[in-house]
Amino acid sequence: MTTPTTEPGSGTPVISGVLAFVERLLLTEEVRLSTPGPQIFDPATGQYVPGPDVVAYEGPGLHRAAGGPGVVLRLEGQPYKDDGDGRYLLFTPMAAPVAAEGNTVTIVKSGDPAAAGRIFKILDPGETGALSVVRQTWMRIEKIGGAA
Instruction: Give the start-to-end residue ranges of the domains of the chain.
Output: 26-38+47-69+84-143
Question: Which CATH topology does 26-38+47-69+84-143 take?
Answer: Thrombin, subunit H (2.40.10)
pTM: 0.74
- Which DSSP string do the residues of the chain spell out, in sequence order? --PPPB-TTT-PBP-HHHHHHHHHHH--EEEEEEEPPPPEEETTTTEEE----EEEEEEEEEEEE--S----PPPTT-------SPEEEEEE-TTSPPP-TT-EEEEEE-SSTTTTT-EEEE-SPPP--TT-SSEEEEEEEEE--TT-
73 or 21, which is more confident = 21
- pLDDT (tens digit per residue) in 65-118: 987 555 556 667 666 555 556 689 999 998 899 999 989 999 999 999 999 999
